[in-house]
Amino acid sequence: MKIIQKIILSLFVIALCAKCTSVKKEKPNVLFIAVDDLNTMLGVLDKFSNTKTPNLDRLAARGVMFSDAHCQAPLCGPSRASIMTGLRPSTTGIYGMIDDNKIRSENPATKEIIMLPEYFKNNGYHTMGIGKLFHDHAPNGVFEESAGRVKGFGPYPEERIVWDGFGTSDRTKYGRTSTDWGAFPEADSLMPDHQSVNWAMERLDTEYNKPFFMGVGFLRVHVPLYVPQKWFDLHPLDSIKTLPYRADDLNDVPNIALQINDLPMMPTTDWAIESGEWPKILQAYLACISFVDYEIGRLIEALDKSEYADNTVIVLWSDHGYRLGEKGTFAKHALWNAATKTPLLFAGPNLPKGKIIDQPAELLSIYPTLLDLCELPAYERNEGKSLLTTMIEKQEDASVAITTFGMNNHTVKSKDFRYIQYEDGTQEFYDHREDPNEFINQAQNLAYQNEIEKLKKYLPKTNVKWDRNSSYTFQPYFVEQKARTSGSDRKPVHVIGAPN
């Protein structure tokens, strides 16, 4: 009997072990971090004027940072729509701002698209989000648990600290943007981003019966450049170095580039130099970066203390870069490097630690890369390529990044060069080996014609008309462009003081 009992027990143990080994491996969670208007002035990448980003630097040390990543549109709305749909602006016609709930409403390219958070929900994830993730927050129903976002980019003082739109040629036409800079409010707890992290921390302390996808969208570093005084104190004015600038920089660019760069509602670099405000604007931007770095640190610390610490994929990105005096102004809104270049970072189980990849990458790759990292089926509609192989195995020097701003205006960034082609066929070309600041347009230089032809082959073949629900109301050029190319008799409305 004892022998029979031992045999039965052994068979039970074997069966139990077989059952255990057959259990499907638990999918990793996803922490999806979006930072508004953050350029690459990070300690791990730039070290500009002693940039202080200890938490982002530590996060980069445990993952992979792409140092030459680029947005698909240098404007919040179309960039985020591209990331979340997995489609290029030239495919969707979403070249300007768009209501989150209208991304799919009348657009044949996006009508049946599965958006990034939805794809995770459809594959067994609990999805939740707070803050600025799409242009506003998110379309209705995209997140199972949604905390929305605070309207605008406040808090705001009773009166503006510095910039009130002066210097514009016609205030009644262009109104006032959110652009301003200075120390405000008194405490971090009054900032919406701080409250968003509190919300996320509560959920990281909650037990879930399935993997989660959590999106946290930060409002800073978007203007106004307001954060409490202590963040300014980290960046004394005498430590701030201004950026390379040439007053004649735009003399060799096509007229259409000047039209696109027509931003009378924004401070010009010449004004900032004459007024002495340039170092103060840079100080405020760096202060905002340090504030966001602190809040991201709080978020990562909460993750590390949670039960999800060892099984969570982290992706951190910004929707585009931000010009801080380059090419004559303080804004995104351009196809030059300072406007398109953005941080992109992945960290998580089985990824290399402390790896920096210098080849070009696209934010369009976030969607397919996350699916790969979470071992989910590929989504055939994605136009971006997964970066997983690049992160783990090798670098592909032939890769490029494509950015679009309005219909038929594109730039292609390779490792060494930037090529721009506008809707009228005019061009710009820059050799980053010799001219990283893009001061000298080499488009007419015969020595570069072979390189230009190589990059032209990457220009999008599809360039659909403007989505009738998408527009941009600040730049006269884009108002006129949509009226010409929307395929609709309905002209875009110029909204005075619309948020940028």
Query: Among all residues, which ones are annotated catalytic?
Result: 76, 135
Closest CA to 64 of 244, 238, 317: 317
Residue 242 backbone dihedrals phi, psi, to 5 degrees:
-75, 165
Closest CA to 458 of 494, 485, 497, 420: 420
3-state SS, the chain, equals CHHHHHHHHHHHHHHHHHHHHHCCCCCCEEEEEEECCCCCCCCCCCCHHHCCCHHHHHHHHCEEEEEEEECCCCCHHHHHHHHHHCCCHHHHCCCCECCHHHCCCCCCCCCCCCCHHHHHHHCCCEEEEEECCCCCCCCCCCCCEECCCCCCCCCCCCCCCCCCCCCCCCHHHHCCCCCCEEECCCCHHHCHHHHHHHHHHHHHCCCCCCCEEEEEEECCCCCCEEECHHHHHCCCHHHCCCCCCCCCHHHHCCHHHHHHCCCCCCCEHHHHHHHCCHHHHHHHHHHHHHHHHHHHHHHHHHHHHCCCCCCEEEEEEECCCCEECHHHEEECCCCCHHHHEEEEEEECCCCCCCEEEEEEEEHHHHHHHHHHHCCCCCCCCCCCCCCHHHHHCCCCCCCCEEEECCCCCEEEECCCEEEEECCCCCEEEEECCCCCCCCCCCCCCHHHHHHHHHHHCCCCCCCCCCCCCCECCCCHHHHHHHHHHCCCCCCCCCCCCCCC
Structure tokens at 218: 């930060």
- The single-letter code of the amino acid at 487 is G
Q: Which residues contact 151 (CB under 8 A, 6 or more apart)?
A: none
The vertex-41 CA angle with 35 and 47, nearest 5°, equals: 140
